[in-house]
Structure 1
């Protein structure tokens, strides 16, 4: 058994190591590929010795690097948030997009745009934090009203209902206050046109949230075994759930403020990681961070390749991947 544990840890280290290498190569490819293809040597030159007088250097550093960094950060954040939600709720269908967290964040951004017309990146992020908490609170509130408690499928249905409600209200607000064009970016979901002004304010939030997630990872492992087991082992379940909930809100809110609504990253990646390394969240969280970032970077590259020179929204790419996976999980959990 101990040998098996060592092998699992070694395998997780390999996932993080090689995943990080592939992520860096994918980011380099994403920077080089675009409406105008740029040699990798030019990409490297712009990074190590930036020359603002060169147009290619400006394109790389001001447009493409922020875009790929945003894709990696958002993918990592959503994957970690999904892993934490699944571990805390013991719900395999839990993820920010399904549990109403992302739709709540988008709803709050719609309200903020209607009230203030223009928003700074920090203002957008704070609005997303508030909306994410509203969306999650509504979903769990509706789910708790159902008979026989909170089952995975009931939570998923409540999340779908609240998502539809908040999306409809957001659309009505956008039309009434004439901010539909501004809000369309957050609906479509993507990282095209993102600049450093949107990315930089969110980086400290991501760093703090990931550190907190790693700190409570062992407690989430215990909590995922059941409430009674966690209490029996001396876990302060209320405190852990509170910290975990805050981490999910911070990660999701920051991600939505940058890229809009991108679904299913937090559903697909944690399931894949648990299949590979088991149920220890000390391994699941770092592996999810790496593969989540890799998935979204690759999805962004694919979005540019489907119908060039036009770009397909990354949210649509992730829906093509995530919807069949969600239906499979819902069918399996419904059968149980």
Structure 2
């Protein structure tokens, strides 16, 4: 690299120096806190269940006990899926923000979740008896479709992509795809099924969803950790990354596939849950620095905690009825998004 870029790169390079002690504390303490929140999620709900009952359902399961059935078949898989989906969305947001250097990038804003929901509406309309696995595959395809359209629309300008233009394109594409999904649901009389994905939630998950989601989340997590160092370098800019020997196109392709894999799987099970992929990466960067070897795993833990807590709160707002968990995350995420949009508006 040439010498004239040293002054500009030095601050960025210094930012790569992470806070390993803080990150390690989040990884260790966060795992413990995640386990605690999952226990609370299993404990609290419409049915009054004692902690002793949870213990008994695990080690001396009684099929005739309603409480044991609720714990084993409903609440435990629900807590596990909430943690996995929160981790998947947070990891996706971290990867997208690092790859695009766009602080507004997230699955819900960039059309990823809207695309997945759109394709699943088509699947429910044309193939109403699709299995959970098939719905997940349709979710992958839709996530890729939504992302591709957003980038194409956002690039149609002389000045190219900016963070706010990308966010505006994502908002427009999300609105269009949502309208098309609504039209499909009305025409084919599947509004009740499609509305589940718009509301967002994990209230109806079963063990089959854990079996489908866990391997996908594990594969995505492993690949994300492998490319984390490359994403850190890519965050310095394409020119700097190429100067350091990075294959930027390959890194972007792999990172995009990981995002589509994680988001498509999450949306196919929980529907649209927004803002976790926007808020958590920013909080994580504030705590641990901008080394993505730390950001990605820490984001996964914090994202899991946030969604498990949000799901628990959604059950406590208006019992015995449940508030959509997407509403709870939106209450947190919308003000944060408006703050970021205002700050980045100078880049228009």
Shared topology, TM-score over 0.5?
Answer: yes
Moved over 4 A (4+): 4-7
Structural RMSD (CA): 1.3
Distance 1:331 1:172 in 2: 33
Residues in 2 aligned to 1:52 and 1:5: alpha-carbon distance in whole angstroms: 53
Is 1:202 aligned to 2:213, yes or no? yes
Which residue is 1:290 aligned to? 301
Corresponding residue for 2:204?
Answer: 193
Moved more, 88-97 or 29-38: 29-38
Q: Which residue of 2 aligns with 1:19?
A: 30
Match of 2:164 in 1: 153
What whole-Å deviation, never above 9, does each CA across 1:225-263 have from its counterpart, x for those lacking one?
100110000001111101000000000000001100000
- How far apart in 1 are the matches of 2:283 and 2:327? 20
Alignment of 1:83 onto 2:94:
yes
Contiguous gaps of at least 5 residues in structure 2 = 1-14
Q: 2:236 aligns with which of 206, 225, 239?
A: 225
Residue of structure 2 equivalent to 1:46: 57
State the partner residue of 2:319: 308
CA drift of 1:117 comes to: 1.3
TM-score of the two chains, using structure 2 as the length reference: 0.94
Instruction: Classify the secondary structure of the residue corresponding to 1:36.
Output: coil
1:264-304 CA-to-partner distances (Å, cap 9, x unmatched) read 00000000000011100000001000000000000011101
Q: CA deviation at 1:40?
A: 1.3
Q: TM-score, normalised by structure 1?
A: 0.97
> Do 1:304 and 1:310's aligned partners in 2 also have CA atoms closer than 8 Å?
yes
Matched, 1:97 2:108: yes
Instruction: Figure out how many residues of one structure are paired with residues of the other and give that number.
Output: 333
Give a deviation string over 1:205-226, Cα, whole Å, max 9, x none: 1110100000000000000010
The answer for unaligned runs of 5 or more in structure 1 is none
In 1: Cα distance, 2:204 partner to 2:213 partner: 16
Preserved contact between residue 117 and residue 179 of structure 1 (Cα < 8 Å): no
Q: How far is 1:56 from its partner?
A: 1.5
Contact 2:116 2:264 in 1 (8 A): yes
